[in-house]
Amino acid sequence: DFFVKNYNTMVQKFLIEIYPKTQKNCFMVKLKSNPSLTYLKVNINFLDNFKYYPNLKFDILQNIYKVMIKQKFLILRLDKNLFDKIDDFILSIQKSPSIKEIE
């Protein structure tokens, strides 16, 4: 009876918290595409002050998505190996910090 009587009075409340980043990005993300815009590549250039930090993978992904949104790209299917490639790249940075670019 409760659900039938009060079906039109349901209320949901959501709390969204936004925290500004305190750390500035030490890399730049650029997009490259083929002429028909069916293939998109990401080029990441690391600045001189770059040092590895634990949330690097998350920041790389967030910046890729942010640049795609700003340039009005909607990608419905990502490379299935994208996360593995980023993980491999992060491991290579930890071993050799002199790497400054990836595509």
Q: Give the range among 3-17, 28-42, 69-83 with minimum mean pLDDT.
A: 3-17
pLDDT at residue 1 is higher than 60: no
User: Percent of the chain having pLDDT more than 90?
Assistant: 0
Q: For position 10, what pLDDT does the model report?
A: 67
Q: For position 2, what pLDDT does the model report?
A: 60
Report the pLDDT averaged over residues 32-54. Answer: 82
pLDDT per residue as tens digits for the range 50-73: 788 888 888 888 888 888 888 887
Asked if residue 93 is part of any domain, the answer here is yes
Domain count, the chain: 1
Asked if residue 35 is part of any domain, the answer here is yes
Q: For position 14, what pLDDT does the model report?
A: 81
Report the pLDDT averaged over residues 89-100. Answer: 79
Asked if residue 41 is part of any domain, the answer here is yes
Look at phi and psi of residue 72 and say left if phi exceeds 0, alpha if psi is from -120 to 50, else beta.
left
Whether the predicted model's global pTM rises above the 0.85 cut: no
Asked if residue 2 is part of any domain, the answer here is no
Domain with 59 in it = 23-102
Look at phi and psi of residue 60 and say left if phi exceeds 0, alpha if psi is from -120 to 50, else beta.
alpha
